[in-house]
Amino acid sequence: MNQKNFRVIHGWVDDILMDHAPSGYRLRVRQDGGQVADLALDQPVGSVKIEDEVSVVVASSRPGRVLVLIDHTTGDGANFLREGRHRRPGEGELLLILAVALGWVALPASLCFVVLYWLVTYRIPEANRRRASARIDYLIDREYCRWHAMRTRKGSVP
């Protein structure tokens, strides 16, 4: 990744709050100039306390989530990317997953539709046509036999 994809926030820990959101914790870092950065933290780093001097690395695309936390007061740090912390999929990713899942779920329904369509448009009308054709053949044969029997009974043989 390019260095432009990341941003470093330097300041002092103002507060660490337990959050009921999926991230788990909120870290407030007071920067120079009085600005406060409110960041999501997957898990607290054991030795980080209020008023510790910290540097935090965040992604430029998602500046609210801590990727790396360095405590300058104690010398501890944590790289959440290296530790394999996974984020939840975004809306676009969920939409793609949903589309693929619905595609696989819809496959049996699509196959059933194709079979039913084939039955309704081809197989059933073809069977009805054959049945009607056989019935007509039977009626013609029966009529021919009747005609032939009547002709031979009268004794008139051509």
Predicted confidence at residue 103, as pLDDT, reads 80
Predicted confidence at residue 100, as pLDDT, reads 83
Domain boundaries, the chain: 3-79, 89-158
**What Å distances lie between residue 3 and 58, 65, 81, CA to CA?**
11, 17, 15
Predicted confidence at residue 23, as pLDDT, reads 60
In one letter, which amino acid is 43?
Answer: Q
Predicted confidence at residue 157, as pLDDT, reads 54
Alpha-carbon span 137 to 38, nearest angstrom? 87
Predicted confidence at residue 50, as pLDDT, reads 86
Predicted confidence at residue 22, as pLDDT, reads 61
- Provide the whole-model pTM: 0.48
Q: Identify the bridge partners of residue 58 per DSSP, sorted by sequence position.
A: 7, 66
User: What class does CATH assign to 3-79?
Assistant: mainly beta
Predicted confidence at residue 39, as pLDDT, reads 87
Residues lower than pLDDT 50 in the chain: 1, 85
C-alpha closest to that of 7 among 46, 62, 45 = 62
Q: What is the mean pLDDT of the chain?
A: 79
Predicted confidence at residue 61, as pLDDT, reads 72
